[in-house]
């Protein structure tokens, strides 16, 4: 076990993948000499060369589009999108090509591409640097979408994503990059928990609280705070957003009878909506209350002075827990 | 271009009107700076720079090129007929572009890799595609006609210009592998306006990878003339990216072959990308669903009919005394046989099965899709005959 930051854990995972498979190549803006704007690829170009850790011109569609060509050639490209809000120029290549080529070619052409996306807010950045665009991609069949919430997962899941024969969007919570944690680098990605499984982080009996990425830490803090009031929260780190591991969430909700889902992304058409709908379908007779969503608002990501109003924090999550439990809350007395 | 009330455009420059537009239209035609080795009347003209690149082409090979072009035209006519007869949902004709496709397609090596648009069915023929596979997509039986690795040609791309990036990435892979094969990407004049094509040229130049940008300027992007896409010749755009370009008579099979060989040779020697503009004309509609009489002049069609790629090779062979009845008969028999095989393959193609819609979305198990698949299988099983489960409007 080694203490390392989230950022370092991803870096070490990338290094292992580069070492283990000569077909792994990294593409992105500023990922070479600089090591990426977040230093996630620090030192990799120096050790693996310019043909395996490629500084590209500034064109996101081309970064993903050339990754498609490399995959056609048998490579296993790992693409860095510098910031969440910069992914949209690549949207067509991701949705129309990366996601569909395996289907289009009836399985003849594999697209083992990993697209790393630093996402989420809370870092005081200007516009386009704090977005949560995951739902655009979970709505696209052919893609797998995963998030990580702690250094160990960051380290293991990046290796699992790279070795997966399907394309994977790997969302990294950038405001947690400097968080430290224990990482077992010897953990074999093949024997570790598969990346498409959810993890129960804390068992509880009163409410199931589902979170992913940056809000997993907030959700755990909320559960600890709720203990003081005698409320027992079961916290689930969703990890995979496409597909969602409903078996784990269903088992929890059948036990607690109540569901709260939280994410930074806006509410409408989001992951929370999908989880709430699916759990309602599968657990209707177990539910004691309507599922509750505690999410960002349906607004463009706001300027940094106000971003903490947009991001669900510990107290807003607990307010949602109170709603699920029918305890007094900020919306008490409102109907519907 | 929008004009304000003073008759000037938004730039404040005087509106020069129709005269200027007409003058600019000329730059995209077969004029200045065009490499040509066979004139429309079938005369072999010498060109000191490009002659050496096709001096190995024997009379016999010239006859083979004629056969290829004739067969491809026959495929195109047959597929159009199949569409009219309801056997195909749609077909994108390549009528008039046979020389551009054969001249380039026959210059490639087996280990080169093609990334094309949906109109390069002639190139696919040169790559050795199974004839049934050409029409599979257009019959609605699959989203891809062939296994790309079986003929080293990617599934034709429908998103305009997207494939140019794939070719560039593939060429990056060739470079990493230290191989001397080449990625060749085909696209049209309309595609040159797409961001992807421009980004592909930036990347190709930056990394100096072995890729050939083969642009067939067929003058029309559905109803939009090439002059709407560009105010300079398309070949001249390449210079802005630091990519050498060639502008060639796309209806001249030998000139296309020479230009393609120049570009391939440069790429194989580590000289990086080349842009080829093959100036041709789309004699047919964009697809069988299109009606070109709504947007283009019949005179234009007549002008280009006089520059037909097949008749000029026939005329050349005739001048050489090689256009014998035996040759004509041999070509016709081959074209008829190919058309017959394609028609049979088309009409006897096995129907896809309902549960096939779920296949190959992922290469690994996926809990979401597995559940939907299971539910739909149960739904289908609730009908005695699965065919009863669907109406014209979808699943009942």
pLDDT of residue B388: 76
Quick check: A67 and B169 in contact, CB under 8 A? yes
Give me the DSSP letters along A95-130.
IIIITTHHHHTTTSS----EEEEEE---S---TTSS
> Does A73 sit within 8 Å of B165, measured CB to CB?
no
Q: Closest Cα of chain A to B175: distance in Å? A: 9
Chain B residues whose beta carbon lies within 8 Å of the beta carbon of residue A165:
363-364
Tell me, yes or no, if B162 comes closer than 8 A to chain A by beta carbon: yes
Q: How far apart are the first and last CA of chain A?
A: 50
Residue B131 pLDDT > 80:
yes
Chain B neighbors of A282, CB-CB under 8 A: none
DSSP B191: G
A residues 95-114 lying closer than 8 A (beta carbon) to B: 96-97, 100-110
In A270-329, the residues whose Cβ lies within 8 Å of chain B are none
pLDDT at B3 over 70: no
Residue A86 CA to residue A127 CA, distance in Å, equals: 11
Per mean pLDDT, which range of A217-226, B16-25, B73-82, B160-169 is the poorest?
Answer: B16-25
Summary mean pLDDT of chain B: 92
The predicted model gives A23-47 an average pLDDT of: 98
What fold characterizes domain B4-347? Rossmann fold (3.40.50)
Task: State how far the Cα of A256 lies from the Cα of A239, in Å rounded to an integer.
Answer: 21
Mean pLDDT within B329-346: 97
In this predicted structure, the answer to whether residue B6 has a pLDDT above a threshold of 50 is no
User: How far is B225 from B216, CA to CA, in rounded Å?
Assistant: 13
What would the pLDDT profile of A67-118 be if each residue is shown by its tens digit? Answer: 999 999 999 999 999 999 999 999 999 999 999 999 999 999 999 999 999 9
pLDDT band at B297 (very low <50, low <70, confident <90, very high): very high
Give the model's confidence band at B207: pLDDT under 50 very low, under 70 low, under 90 confident, else very high. very high
Judge contact between B249 and B279, C-beta under 8 A: yes
DSSP H or E segment with residue A292: strand A292-296
- Give the pLDDT confidence of B158-174 residue by residue, as tens digits: 999 999 999 999 999 99
pLDDT (tens digit per residue) in B310-335: 999 999 999 999 999 999 999 999 99
Q: Which of A52, A59, A70 sits opposite B169 (nearest CB)?
A: A70
| Higher pLDDT among residues B387 and B140, named by residue | B140
pLDDT-based confidence at residue B22 (cuts at 50, 70, 90):
very low
| A97: nearest CB among B162, B359, B363 | B162
Query: Which residues of A are marked as active site?
Result: 129
- For A311, the token pair is 């991001």
Interchain proximity A73–B169, CB inside 8 Å: yes
Annotated catalytic residue B186: no
Residue B396 has pLDDT above 90, yes or no: no
Q: B205 and chain A: CB distance < 8 Å anywhere?
A: no
pLDDT at B24 over 80: no
pLDDT value, residue A336: 64
pLDDT at residue A313, rounded to an integer = 97
Q: Which candidate from A61, A141, A245 shows the least CB-CB separation from B196?
A: A61
Asked if A66 and B166 come within 8 Å (Cβ–Cβ), the reply is yes
Residue A241, pLDDT > 50, answer yes
Q: Which two tokens stand for residue A125?
A: 């950045």
Q: What percent of chain A has pLDDT over 90?
A: 99
Q: What is the pTM of this model?
A: 0.94
Q: What is the pLDDT of residue B154?
A: 98
- Residues 6 or more apart whose CB falls under 8 angstroms from that of A141 comprise A99, A103, B361, B369
For B62, left (φ over 0), alpha (ψ -120 to 50), or beta? alpha
Q: Is B234:B207 a contact under the CB 8 Å cutoff? A: no
Residues 177-206 in A contacting B (C-alpha not used; CB under 8 Å) = 196
Q: Do B196 and A51 touch (CB under 8 A)?
A: no
**Which pLDDT band holds residue B27 (cuts at 50, 70, 90)?**
confident
Average pLDDT of the residues in B80-102: 97
Question: Do B217 and B28 form a contact (C-beta atoms < 8 A)?
Answer: yes
- Using the Cβ of A25 and the Cβ atoms of chain B, whether some distance falls under 8 Å is answered with yes
> Least CA distance to B184: which residue of chain A?
A69
Nearest-by-CA chain A residue for B176: A51
Distance CA A261, CA A252 (A): 13
Best mutation target among A69, A101, A160 (most B Cβ atoms within 10 Å) is A69
A-chain residues within 8 Å CB-CB of B172? 54, 66, 69-70
Q: Which of A100, A94, A97, A135 is nearest to A115 (CA)?
A: A94
Distance from CA of B361 to the nearest CA of A (A): 5
Choice among B106, B286, B312, B343 that is catalytic:
B286
Contacts of B22 (CB under 8 A, 6+ apart): none
ipTM: 0.96
Closest Cα in chain A, distance from residue B390 (Å): 23
pLDDT in tens, B212-229: 999 999 999 999 999 999
- Look over chain A and give the mean of its residue pLDDT values, rounded to a whole number: 97
Whether B295 sits among the annotated catalytic residues: the reply is: yes
Say yes or no for a CB contact (<8 Å) between B368 and A244: yes
- State how far residue A27 is from chain B, nearest Cα, in angstroms: 11
Task: Please give, rounded to a whole number of angstroms, the shortest distance from the CA of A102 to a CA of chain B.
Answer: 6
Sort out which chain B residues have CB atoms less than 8 A from A61's CB and list them.
Answer: 165, 195-196, 199
**Structural domain boundaries of chain B?**
4-347, 354-395
Between A63 and B393, residue with greater pLDDT: A63
pLDDT given at position B392: 67
Residue A74 C-alpha, separation from nearest chain B C-alpha, in angstroms: 8
């Amino acid at each position: 076990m080694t203490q390392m930051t989230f950022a370092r854990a991803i870096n070490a995972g990338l290094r292992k993948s580069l070492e283990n498979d000569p077909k792994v190549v990294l593409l992105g803006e500023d990922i070479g000499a600089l090591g990426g704007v977040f230093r996630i690829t620090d030192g990799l170009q120096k050790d693996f060369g310019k043909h395996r850790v490629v500084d590209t011109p500034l064109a996101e569609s081309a970064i993903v589009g050339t990754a498609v060509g490399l995959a056609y050639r048998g490579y296993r490209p790992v693409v860095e999108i510098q910031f969440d809000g910069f992914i949209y120029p690549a949207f067509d290549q991701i949705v129309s090509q990366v996601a569909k080529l395996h289907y289009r070619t009836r399985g003849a052409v594999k697209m083992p591409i990993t697209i790393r996306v630093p996402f989420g807010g809370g870092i005081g950045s200007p516009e386009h640097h704090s977005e949560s665009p995951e739902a655009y991609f979970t709505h696209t069949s052919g893609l797998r979408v995963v998030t990580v919430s702690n250094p160990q997962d960051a380290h293991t899941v990046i290796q699992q994503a790279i070795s997966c024969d399907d394309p994977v969007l790997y969302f990294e919570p950038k405001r947690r990059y400097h968080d430290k944690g224990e990482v077992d680098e010897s953990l074999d990605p093949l024997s570790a928990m598969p990346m498409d499984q959810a993890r129960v982080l804390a068992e509880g009996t009163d409410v199931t609280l589902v979170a992913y990425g940056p809000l997993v830490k907030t959700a755990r803090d909320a559960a600890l705070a709720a203990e003081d009031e005698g409320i027992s929260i079961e916290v689930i780190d969703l990890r995979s957003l496409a597909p969602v591991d409903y078996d784990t969430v269903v088992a929890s909700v059948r036990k607690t009878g109540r569901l709260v889902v939280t994410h930074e992304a806006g509410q409408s058409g989001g992951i929370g909506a999908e989880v709430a709908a699916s759990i309602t379908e599968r657990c209707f007779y177990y539910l004691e209350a309507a599922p509750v969503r505690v999410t960002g608002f349906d607004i463009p990501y706001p300027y940094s002075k106000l971003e903490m109003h947009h991001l669900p924090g510990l107290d807003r999550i607990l307010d949602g827990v109170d709603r699920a439990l029918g305890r007094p809350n900020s919306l008490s007395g409102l109907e519907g | 271009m929008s004009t304000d009330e003073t008759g000037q455009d938004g730039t404040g420059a005087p509106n020069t009107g129709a005269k200027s537009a007409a003058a600019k239209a000329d730059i995209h035609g077969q004029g200045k700076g065009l490499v040509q080795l066979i004139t429309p009347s079938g005369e072999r003209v010498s060109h000191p720079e490009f002659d050496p690149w096709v001096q190995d082409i024997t009379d016999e090979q010239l006859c083979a090129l004629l056969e290829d072009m004739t067969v491809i035209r026959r495929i195109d006519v047959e597929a159009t007929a199949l569409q009219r007869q309801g056997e195909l949902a749609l077909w994108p004709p390549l009528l008039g572009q046979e020389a551009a496709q054969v001249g380039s397609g026959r210059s490639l090596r087996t280990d080169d890799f093609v990334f094309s648009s949906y109109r390069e069915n002639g190139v696919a023929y040169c790559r050795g595609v199974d004839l049934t596979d050409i029409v599979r997509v257009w019959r609605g039986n699959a989203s891809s006609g062939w296994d790309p690795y079986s003929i080293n040609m990617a599934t034709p791309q429908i998103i305009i210009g997207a494939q140019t990036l794939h070719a560039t990435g593939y060429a990056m892979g060739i470079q990493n592998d230290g191989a001397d094969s080449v990625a060749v990407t085909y696209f049209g004049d309309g595609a040159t306006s797409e961001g992807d094509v421009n980004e592909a040229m930036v990347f190709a130049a930056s990394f100096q990878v072995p890729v050939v940008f083969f642009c067939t300027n067929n003058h029309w992007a559905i109803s939009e003339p090439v002059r709407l896409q560009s105010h300079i010749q398309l070949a001249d755009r390449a210079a802005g990216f630091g990519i050498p370009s060639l502008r060639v008579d796309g209806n001249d099979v030998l000139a296309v072959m020479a230009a393609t060989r120049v570009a391939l040779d440069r790429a194989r020697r580590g000289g990086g990308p080349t842009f080829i503009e093959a100036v041709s004309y789309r004699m047919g509609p964009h697809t069988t669903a299109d009606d070109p009489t709504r947007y283009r002049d019949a005179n234009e069609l007549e002008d280009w009919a006089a520059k037909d790629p097949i008749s000029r090779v026939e005329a050349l062979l005739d001048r050489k005394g090689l256009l014998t009845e035996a040759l004509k008969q041999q070509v016709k028999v081959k074209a008829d046989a190919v058309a017959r095989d394609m028609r049979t393959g088309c009409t006897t193609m096995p129907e896809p099965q309902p549960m096939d819609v779920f296949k190959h979305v992922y290469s690994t198990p996926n809990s979401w899709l597995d559940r939907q698949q299971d539910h739909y299988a149960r739904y289908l099983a609730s009908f005695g005959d699965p065919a009863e489960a669907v109406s014209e409007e979808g699943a009942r």
